């Protein structure tokens, strides 16, 4: 494809213009019916120069949005609600090694590399077993092996509830967020095919 960066023209797409009855080549991309979202970038339509100008003149980005959604989209912070890996304070890396625990700095680096390799191997094992990413997070939250049975699931759930519930740990409410994660993980896994 040959891109004409100054005009947004993409030559050689092989796309016809999507305007009804138009025989021209579709060289200009315009947003489609499905908007970008969590499931992908959305779809596009291709128009000739005259029809893309007509489309742009009548396009309303905010169509179908509530006033609150419009205000949120107009905010200068729009799109920055979730920190990306590169802009998180830890840059997507776990906490730094405790250098005092190692005689040689290379041991610290090696330990981190081993932990990462084990995490990747666990992810590959989960994929091989047909475990979804959500289920994998639930297994990790409950610290369960992928071959655990229903009895192990129930036992681990009971153990963690006793540990984190304020009625069981002397009234310490600092673990309520962790308790909520455990309950959600248990509810997800107990209804999954692996524990049916």
Per-residue pLDDT of 95-108, as tens digits, reads 667 777 888 888 88
Instruction: Give the integer Cα–Cα distance in Å for 182 and 186.
Output: 6
Rounded average pLDDT over 11-20: 84
Residue 65 lies in a domain: no
The strand ranges marked E within the chain are 2-4, 9-11, 28-31, 44-47
User: 103: Cβ–Cβ under 8 A, 6 or more apart, which residues?
Assistant: none
Residue 160 has pLDDT above 60, yes or no: yes
- Residue-level pLDDT at 132: 87
User: Which token pair is 130?
Assistant: 């047909």
Domain co-membership, 8 together with 53: yes
CB-based burial, 22-60: b 16+ in 10 Å, e otherwise: eeebbbbbbeeeeeeeeeeeeebbbbbeebbeebeeeee
Domain count across the chain: 3
CA 44 to CA 82: how far, in whole Å? 26
Residue 67 forms part of a structural domain: no
192 shares a domain with 136 = yes
CATH number at residue 183: 1.10.287.110
Residue 141 and residue 180 share a domain: yes
**Domain region containing 113:** 91-128
Residue (of 52, 1, 47, 51) closest to 25 by Cα position: 47
Residue 109 within any structural domain of the chain: yes
Examine residue 82 and state whether it is found in any structural domain, yes or no: no
Same domain, 148 and 109: no
Residue 175 resides in a domain = yes
Per-chain mean pLDDT for the chain: 82
Q: Is the pLDDT of residue 92 over 60?
A: no
User: Can you give the pTM of this predicted structure?
Assistant: 0.47
73 domain residue, yes or no? no
């Amino acid at each position: 494809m040959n891109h004409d960066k100054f005009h947004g023209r993409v030559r050689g797409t092989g796309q016809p213009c999507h305007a009804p009855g138009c025989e021209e080549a579709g060289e200009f991309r315009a947003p489609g019916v499905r908007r970008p979202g969590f499931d992908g970038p959305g779809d596009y339509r291709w128009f000739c120069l005259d029809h893309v100008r007509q489309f742009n003149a009548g396009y309303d980005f905010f169509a179908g949005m509530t006033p609150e959604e419009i205000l949120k989209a107009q905010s200068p912070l729009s799109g920055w609600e979730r920190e990306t890996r590169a802009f998180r304070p830890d840059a997507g890396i776990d906490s730094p090694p405790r250098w005092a625990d190692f005689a040689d700095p290379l041991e610290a680096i090696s330990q981190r590399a081993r932990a990462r390799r084990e995490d990747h191997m666990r992810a590959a094992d989960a994929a091989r077993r047909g475990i979804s990413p959500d289920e994998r997070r639930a297994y990790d939250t409950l610290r369960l092996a992928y071959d655990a049975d229903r009895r192990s699931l129930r036992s681990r759930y009971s153990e963690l509830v006793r540990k984190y519930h304020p009625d069981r740990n002397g009234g310490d409410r600092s673990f309520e967020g962790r308790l909520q994660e455990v309950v959600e993980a248990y509810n997800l896994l107990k209804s999954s095919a692996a524990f049916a």
